[in-house]
Amino acid sequence: MGEVGVPELMLILVIALVVFGGKKLPEIGRGLGEGIRGFRDAMRGNENATGSATDELKK
C-alpha cells in the first residue's frame, strides 16, 4: 500500500490533461518543479545551519 506504479502515474497524467488542458499543463509542471526545488534548497540550508551549530557546540 502506498506505492505508485506506472499505471497510476498514467491515470494521474490523463486526468490532469483533461482538467487543465494541454496548454496550461507545462506551466503547472514548471511551477511545481520550481516549488520542489526551492523546498529542497531550503532544507539543505537548514541542514548546513544545523551542522555548523552542532560543530560549534562540540568545541
Per-residue pLDDT of the chain (59 residues; tens, 9 = 90+): 678 899 998 898 889 888 888 888 889 889 989 999 999 999 888 766 655 555 666 65
pTM for the whole thing? Answer: 0.51
Quote the crossing angle between the two packed helices 6-20 and 25-58, to the nearest 10°: 120
* Dmax (CA) of the chain: 58
